[in-house]
A = this chain, B = another copy of it.
């Protein structure tokens, strides 16, 4: 060992027994290997929302419903979806989700349901619920891990006679689907509307196309704020064009079971709650409900957009120039980006000192840097924003009215804005509960409902920019109590929706939105607008209460006053009653300025 270098070995005498295991560059190299993306997520399944049996159940339902909703809407079909949870053993459930979507062509089924990172939504900028190409395959992989069973899919596309039935597993070593069985089958998705008591209401509806996916998994059913029940209810609220059937069948409780809240977790406030949970110990162990659609119109189908130049980084610009179908730099700029006309593309090239007719594949690194810089310096229209579809103020108010009986409702849909080149839009709704509401107490934190592209977010509120935005507003100015840095306190429901062509989730489980400044700013503005309206209401209510109090106080004295007047003026007895009446009338007419 030269110079003062490797002297470290001489000092290692004290290490003792472990020395035999020391490795060298060569032995290390022999252990290096590929990790398949499914191995990665299998070992890190909490990243996908499968960390507890309770959450796994919700995540599986959520992924399946997201896919069904997206498929129906893209095909212009009013969605009708059936979610069925059947308890197979103490700790095992079958999750089955059926839709009336366009169906899936045979060759695509295995990859869609048994291959991570496969899909149609990742490589585009378009508002949809799914975006990663992971979710439903992850649910199947989790089922496979915990029960060894396969994912079973039935799908029928329009104008075909038979449905395709297939069962697939995922080879986690290679992230490839393995088909276990496959056959043609006579099947049509059949849906049954039930009334409020869970009884069939009319004949079943039979569709000519659709998809049904069924997964067995280790799971636990627990009611409450993070339950499948709550998720589906909120889904129905923000998707008024959806008809949703939900059936839950629990095994009768022979052995001590899994139906209690998970160990160590207490049911949250306002949970649906302890008494109902213990009710599972005996029948009725089934639940059946239909959320019928409230509107027969699909929301506008959002457009797909091209990336906006101001949201594209240097490396991405270089990649796009390499991949373009255009023959010139100018052509690539104007055809592959939004808001770049041929004129603007020419200006950018000129500013960068790059020949507009150069071949885009031959642009050198420093030229790309010049182009990148020129783009940043060029004023461009903001990205088109009709690609993000709001729920709409009216629908938000209708949704809040379903959720809560309140004295005050307000909703704000902001104009679209842009973060990192991605158009997005924020909506906020606020409701102030009637005093008699048993769930919303005036000394509890407000109830916060979070949504992203019309999907309810039930987990990880602490990691979400929505929570941060609500905490960051000064609610004291609007008449609500608020401990420092916390959610405001009061009998209030606050809902916040972010719609975007790309929602920046904090993890693959898509439970929380990352904190981008532009997003936070838009949320804050929308919340403040609702806050101002709330404060007008609360001020008025406070004044009204004060006036009522004064009025009551005065009313108390009216009989005495009447008696006094009678005696002073020596009026007859019958006049006394008239005076009382007149005084009360006067009092009612008076505006009490408090």
A interface residues with partner B (beta carbon < 8 Å): 1-6, 8-9, 11-12, 14-15, 18-19, 21-26, 28-29, 31-37, 39-40, 43-44, 46-47, 51, 71, 74-78, 100, 102-105, 107-108, 111-112, 117-120, 122-124, 132-133, 144-149, 157-158, 172, 188, 203, 205-209, 218, 263-264, 296-298, 300-301, 303, 313-316, 318-319, 365, 368-369, 460, 462-463, 483, 502, 504-508, 514, 517, 520
A25 with B102: in contact, given A51-B514, A206-B4 (CB under 8 Å)?
yes
Q: Which residue of chain B has its CB nearest to the CB of A301?
A: B18
Copies of this chain: 2
A132 with B40: in contact, given A21-B301, A34-B117, A297-B14 (CB under 8 Å)?
yes
Asked if B5 contacts A207 (CB within 8 A), the reply is yes
Question: A271 CB to closest chain B CB, in angstroms?
Answer: 17
Set of chain B residues within 8 Å of A365, measured between Cβ atoms: 148-149
Q: Which 4 A-B pairs have the closest CB atoms?
A: A145-B315, A31-B120, A22-B76, A8-B78
Set of chain B residues within 8 Å of A4, measured between Cβ atoms: 203, 205-206
A133→B4 CA distance, assembly (Å): 33
Partner of A32, one of B6, B51, B112: B112
Partner of A40, one of B78, B122, B314, B502: B122
25 A-B pairs, CB-CB below 8 angstroms?
A: A8-B100, A11-B297, A12-B78, A14-B297, A18-B300, A25-B209, A26-B105, A28-B120, A32-B119, A33-B120, A35-B117, A36-B117, A37-B37, A37-B117, A44-B504, A46-B506, A46-B514, A47-B507, A145-B315, A147-B315, A148-B318, A148-B368, A172-B319, A264-B517, A483-B483
Set of chain B residues within 8 Å of A5, measured between Cβ atoms: 100, 188, 205-208
Partner of A11, one of B23, B78, B303: B78
A264→B369 CA distance, assembly (Å): 28
A306→B34 CA distance, assembly (Å): 20
Question: A190 CB to closest chain B CB, in angstroms?
Answer: 9
A117→B146 CA distance, assembly (Å): 24
Asked if A47 contacts B120 (CB within 8 A), the reply is no
Asked if A298 contacts B148 (CB within 8 A), the reply is no
Set of chain B residues within 8 Å of A107, measured between Cβ atoms: 29
A514→B195 CA distance, assembly (Å): 42
Q: Which residue of chain B has its CB nearest to the CB of A111?
A: B32
Set of chain B residues within 8 Å of A33, measured between Cβ atoms: 118-120, 123
Q: A5-B206, A15-B298, A43-B502 are in contact. List 11 more A-B contacts (CB 8 A).
A: A1-B208, A2-B208, A3-B205, A5-B207, A19-B76, A26-B157, A32-B112, A35-B119, A46-B514, A148-B315, A149-B365
Asked if B23 contacts A122 (CB within 8 A), the reply is no
A2→B207 CA distance, assembly (Å): 7
Asked if B76 contacts A15 (CB within 8 A), the reply is yes
Question: A252 CB to closest chain B CB, in angstroms?
Answer: 22
A502→B44 CA distance, assembly (Å): 10
Set of chain B residues within 8 Å of A46, measured between Cβ atoms: 504, 506, 514
Asked if B206 contacts A102 (CB within 8 A), the reply is no
Set of chain B residues within 8 Å of A502, measured between Cβ atoms: 43
A39 with B112: in contact, given A47-B507, A78-B12, A208-B2 (CB under 8 Å)?
no
A314 with B157: in contact, given A5-B207, A301-B22 (CB under 8 Å)?
no
Set of chain B residues within 8 Å of A25, measured between Cβ atoms: 75, 102-105, 157-158, 209
A34 with B120: in contact, given A514-B51, A517-B263 (CB under 8 Å)?
no
Set of chain B residues within 8 Å of A43, measured between Cβ atoms: 122, 502
A555→B296 CA distance, assembly (Å): 88
Set of chain B residues within 8 Å of A3, measured between Cβ atoms: 205-206
A257→B460 CA distance, assembly (Å): 36
Asked if A29 contacts B147 (CB within 8 A), the reply is no
Asked if B314 contacts A147 (CB within 8 A), the reply is yes
Asked if B507 contacts A76 (CB within 8 A), the reply is no
Interface centre among A118, A301, A502, A505 (most CB of B within 10 A): A301
A75→B6 CA distance, assembly (Å): 12
Q: Which residue of chain B has its CB nearest to the CB of A462?
A: B462
Q: Which residue of chain B has its CB nearest to the CB of A461?
A: B462
Question: A27 CB to closest chain B CB, in angstroms?
Answer: 9
A507→B207 CA distance, assembly (Å): 41
Partner of A206, one of B2, B205, B508: B2
Partner of A9, one of B12, B76, B133: B76
A158→B28 CA distance, assembly (Å): 13
Q: Which residue of chain B has its CB nearest to the CB of A512?
A: B463
Asked if B314 contacts A148 (CB within 8 A), the reply is yes
